[in-house]
Structure 1
Amino acid sequence: MRISKIRLKNGYKRFHDLTIDLGKAPARIVALVGPNGCGKSSVLDGLLYHASAHERVGQGVNRDHNYHSMTGANSLTWQDVEIQFTTGTFGEAHQLRRATGKSNTIFSFRSPYRYNSQLKISQTSAVPEIKLNSYGAGDASSLDAKMEDNYRRLYALYNRYRDDNDIKPSEAKAKVIGDLNASIKNCLDLEISSIGSVEGNQGTLYFKKLDHPKEFEFNVLSSGEKEVVDILLDLYLRKDDYSDTIFLIDEPELHINTAIQGSLLVEIDRLVGAECQIWLTTHSIGFLRALQTKMRDKCQIIQFRPEYNLAAESRTLTPVEVGPGTWRDLFAIALDDLAHLVSPTTIIYCEGRAEPGSGGRERGMDAQVFNKIFARSHPDVFFTSSGGNTEPDQRSAIALAVLGKVFPAVDIWVLKDRDMASGKFTDENDRQVYLRTNPQNHRVLKRWEIENYLYDKEVLRAYSTGEGLSFDEVAYDTFVTNIVDQNLKDETQRVKNFCGVKSSINADVFKVALSGYMTHEMSVFQELEDCIFNRS
């Protein structure tokens, strides 16, 4: 069963008259994507409101027109939400299921508000049949507490299978939770080790990890781990009775790490029956990435754009044409204000080793030094290495073309050493000519190289004091006669001797250490800052 079209009219929630039309071939997964407050959850509420005229899904507060109407009009009814399935109307589908006792399995709903921090059962008790769909939240604003009931169901299923087949507990466990564990392990680095024993005052799930010496209770899991287990357990238990169902899942990403979200969507898709459809509301990077890659052939995306005046105008939304521009817009929604936190306002390409190390670690010494020097004074600036003295131009041009479209507020600069003439000497006049004849995003160091800043007397004196060493200022002054133009890069060992360093410290490690001693009150810091950020 799949929904092909819905309409929410006469001021339902925040919509004047909204239609979502998926066409003649609605997809397996329908993702409603948009910023907070755009109406994604209201669509799911509308579906549940229509269903409640036939049979209530979940439990909790009975919502009247004050909840469902944009204006609080009591003239609004469930008939103001129209649902068209590929097989007919909701009423027709509901009537056909009466004979099977599964009349309330057309929708399966999960609210974004889930509470499952504790699970410890001290006595057995009956729970309603899962096909009655009478537990959990009944709308997008209600608490969705399903974990305790689902634990009882899993425990009963395990005991029944063990007794009916007269097999060992370990064999029953392998059968009952084997498939569930497969899904959990694909999302988290843990698995269920035991279903516990209610009779033995151990009425909870127990887990194990490879790096943990012994099993531990559900209550010890993190909030994100509990959310994943909760969602997967509920879907696992519903597999048989909800084989032809529309699963409505409202913002499943809450509390869940971005890296896990994509794997979770894959497992949701695996556990939900082949004849079912999944409606998902999200503005999560992880889920969008999974839709873009792993699910691209089985999903349709409905985008709620901020400029749509859905409260005052009639509008029909259809699946977006998926392409690079579309994904740029969708990921911009996912990042929203976070983009200003996770992406810098300025990216500066400087010289140095361009290839990253393991985990994307910066290997260029210059970039490491600059990032350390300006970490406090310019925390929204990121320096990255891009090769020799011609490569920063090339790489920055590519970055401007790509990142400039995704994050138009990000500035991309090029920073070069003053030895930019392939070994030929350049002076301050040459530097000024370069600045005048190149774009405003180009900078050139006043001093010959970064070493001419790091090997400044102020910095070396502070380093020696901080490391408990003795700085030979007389020997330094005798050798360093021109801190601006002198080639000091090749004299690192001599400089280490000036600082009293007797051990064998790698040259780059030494330079990065020095950068930690260049502070904002130093004249050399102020000169470097002015050169880069004021283009002086």
Structure 2
Amino acid sequence: MKLASAHIQDFKRFTDLTITNVPAKAKLVVLVGPNGAGKTSLFEAFNYWVSIARQQYNNFDALYHAKAGRPVVTDWSQMLQKIDLQFHDTQQINPQAHSQQSIKSFYIRSAYRHEPDFTVNQLNRADDMLLDSRRPPKLIIGEARVSDNYQRIVSASVEALFNPSNQSTTAGQIVDRLIGRIREGIGRVFDDLSLDGPGRPMQDGSFFFSKGASTGYHYKNLSGGEKAAFDLLLDFIVKTEVFDDSIFCIDEPELHMHTRLQSQLLDELLRQIPTHCQLWLSTHSIGMMRRAMELHRANPDEVVFLDFGAFDFDQPTVMKPAVIDRTFWKKMFAVALDDLSELVSPKQIVFCEGRRESGGSRSTSTFDAAVYRTIFGALHPDTEFVPLGGTSELDRDALLLSTVLTQMLPSIRTWKVFDRDDRSAAEITELNASGTRVLARRDLESYLWDDEILSELAAASGRASETPALVAEKKRLIDQLPQLGKPVDDIKAIAGQMYNECKRRLQLTQCGNNATDFARITLAPLVKPNTRTYSELETAVFGSI
């Protein structure tokens, strides 16, 4: 089943929307645009259409389905008349005929997917898979399907075990045969996670995994991203046995996943989808869009994009697959990258540690990025500092972002800067060889609380004579660090005490409410180009790449 066009009136976000020209060869249709643009509203129209095909008339909700401010809709049939769908290679389908073709035409997953834990201790007969009893009547309702799919796999295993034609087959062989596709798919998506099996369904039935050196790893111990990816992959593999001529719709499949996992999951979903099916995704994630971009370049007719950010749906709208050019990609990645969209073509981007900025505004700048911008803003105005999280996140996502940015702006240079922390000389050499810079000191605070900067602070406060006392107090606190089980260069550990000492001796006010704010607001501006500290930090960040 493949959708050719859709006409939707007075439904959710849409006044009069026509989607047309979706090619028959399209295997993947990607809905892109900012939050609130209308992507989920389209899936909700599909979901309502298939609800009627399933005779689920009580799913009608006038306050939810009908567009606010438009003529009042009083019953389900009036709502259905506002949704007209046309399919490739099939006659017009009337959902009110309740045919098998109409019932299986769509399989839809909402963005609210969460089953944190389950353990089964009894077997239940699985209902007809085509009924899809777990489907959400509205896409704002949470859904949980992992345990349901578990029951289906176990029930199928029991039935196969007692099938006379399988008398020479062991129970283990039957289970392996049934979960083989799932295990193989998991192996392709995850680098360090493998599916062991379904455990003991009558005692502690759940999915168990191997992860690194650990075996018997219960489903509930997976991370949020691992559960999200496993849920979709498991559901896809199980349901495609019946939904083999259907349109699969997944709202925001990337939730809780890092960018590389998003890309690998998309590849696996497309690998598993039956020949006659079509996959529709609503997304604004960089991982999904980047992979879809690569697939489109390889097969333009098989991957199309619908740009929901380009229209005013309060007006009659005709939407066709977007023209894929550099302007389109710049706009799409502006949505996905959020805070990076404000960059005005910098020549260099330095990815640093620190909480990701939010809201598309530098007003939420995190510590490292804010300090670097303050210190180097004057002499390096063509450089932007972008925080990407902790070391593992920074290492993981910087490569992907660098690839995307250099495709959009070929002249741009990007690299990463790590704190030294407790890295060995060999580790630092290896990072430098890969183009990653490592600070010569433990962390950024070590530069900000340098003796030289304390001297600058005292002089700027008109109390230069207090410099020796401040330096002596810093040395005293450092000498106590080993007794506290702290490294002797952990300046961050004494920052709070030094903050109080500076305020007391220099009689400072309005200089920051805590040690972190004090370092960012008061100390960072003192790291000036004429200081030794500045030169050392500049070499660490901008040295030969």
TM-score (structure 1 length as normaliser): 0.65
Contact 2:182–2:234 (Cα < 8 Å) also in 1: yes
Query: Is structure 2 residue 330 aligned with structure 1 residue 328?
Result: yes
Structure 1: distance between partners of 2:239 and 2:526 = 64
* Count of residues in Structure 1 that have an aligned counterpart in Structure 2: 413
Cα shift at 1:317: 0.9
- Which residue in 2 is equivalent to 1:69? 66
- Which residue in 2 is equivalent to 1:125? 124
- Which residue in 1 is equivalent to 2:12? 13
Task: Specify the SS of the correspondent of 1:53.
Answer: helix
Distance change in 2, residues 1:46/1:527 (3 Å): closer
Distance change in 2, residues 1:43/1:469 (3 Å): closer
Structure 2 residue corresponding to 1:303, chosen from 307, 310, 322:
307
Give the stretch that moved more between structures: 67-76 or 258-267: 67-76
Distance change in 2, residues 1:93/1:65 (3 Å): closer
Query: Which structure 2 residue ranges, 5 or more long, are not aligned?
Result: 354-364, 385-403, 415-446, 457-466, 480-487, 509-518, 530-545
Contact 1:347–1:383 (Cα < 8 Å) also in 2: no
Cα shift at 1:456: 6.7
Task: Specify the SS of the correspondent of 1:139.
Answer: coil
Cα shift at 1:74: 2.4
Structure 1: distance between partners of 2:85 and 2:335 = 28
Deviations 1:438-460 (Å, cap 9, x if unpaired)?
xxxxxxxxxxxx99x97578389
TM-score (structure 2 length as normaliser): 0.64
Contact 2:16–2:313 (Cα < 8 Å) also in 1: yes
Q: How does 1:297-376 map to 2 (within 5 A)?
A: 297=299, 298-305=302-309, 308-311=311-314, 313-336=315-338, 338-339=339-340, 376=367
Cα shift at 1:394: 9.1
Structure 1 stretches of 4+ with a deviation exceeding 6 A read 92-95, 343-349, 392-396, 402-407, 516-528, 530-533
Contact 1:137–1:143 (Cα < 8 Å) also in 2: yes
- Which residue in 1 is equivalent to 2:217? 216
Instruction: Give me the identity figure in percent.
Output: 25
Deviations 1:180-227 (Å, cap 9, x if unpaired)?
11222233321221212222x112111111232x31221222222222
Task: Specify the SS of the correspondent of 1:293.
Answer: helix
- Which residue in 2 is equivalent to 1:379? 370
Distance change in 2, residues 1:319/1:184 (3 Å): same
Give the residue type in structure 2 aligned to 1:3.
Answer: L
Larger radius of gyration: 1
Cα shift at 1:134: 3.1
- Which residue in 1 is equivalent to 2:34? 35
Contact 1:4–1:26 (Cα < 8 Å) also in 2: no
Cα shift at 1:138: 2.9
CA RMSD of aligned residues (A): 4.6
Cα shift at 1:42: 1.0
Cα shift at 1:89: 4.6
Task: Specify the SS of the correspondent of 1:379.
Answer: helix
Q: How does 1:134-533 map to 2 (within 5 A)?
A: 134-164=133-163, 165=166, 166-188=168-190, 189-199=192-202, 201-212=203-214, 214-294=215-295, 296=297, 297=299, 298-305=302-309, 308-311=311-314, 313-336=315-338, 338-339=339-340, 376=367, 379=370, 381-382=372-373, 458=455, 466-468=474-476, 529=525
Cα shift at 1:236: 0.8
Query: Which structure 1 residue ranges, 5 or more long, are not aligned?
Result: 363-373, 397-401, 413-449, 472-508
Contact 1:22–1:318 (Cα < 8 Å) also in 2: yes
Structure 2: distance between partners of 1:377 and 1:393 = 17
Structure 2: distance between partners of 1:218 and 1:406 = 40
Contact 2:347–2:382 (Cα < 8 Å) also in 1: no
Contact 1:181–1:191 (Cα < 8 Å) also in 2: yes
Deviations 1:100-127 (Å, cap 9, x if unpaired)?
x665211111111123122111211112
Structure 2: distance between partners of 1:227 and 1:140 = 17
Give the residue type in structure 1 aligned to 2:247.
Answer: I
Deviations 1:304-346 (Å, cap 9, x if unpaired)?
12x63212x111111111122211101112234x548xx8899
Task: Specify the SS of the correspondent of 2:53.
Answer: coil
Cα shift at 1:258: 2.9
Cα shift at 1:66: 2.8
Give the residue type in structure 2 aligned to 1:299.
Answer: V
Task: Specify the SS of the correspondent of 2:19.
Answer: strand
Contact 2:123–2:155 (Cα < 8 Å) also in 1: no
Distance change in 2, residues 1:394/1:31 (3 Å): closer
Distance change in 2, residues 1:6/1:379 (3 Å): same
Deviations 1:428-478 (Å, cap 9, x if unpaired)?
xxxxxxxxxxxxxxxxxxxxxx99x9757838966675345999xxxxxxx
Contact 2:17–2:313 (Cα < 8 Å) also in 1: yes
Structure 1: distance between partners of 2:213 and 2:227 = 19
Structure 1: distance between partners of 2:374 and 2:42 = 44
Cα shift at 1:251: 1.4
Give the residue type in structure 1 aligned to 2:278.
Answer: Q
Structure 1: distance between partners of 2:269 and 2:39 = 19
- Comparing both structures, which one devotes a greater share of its residues to helix? 2
Structure 2: distance between partners of 1:263 and 1:70 = 37
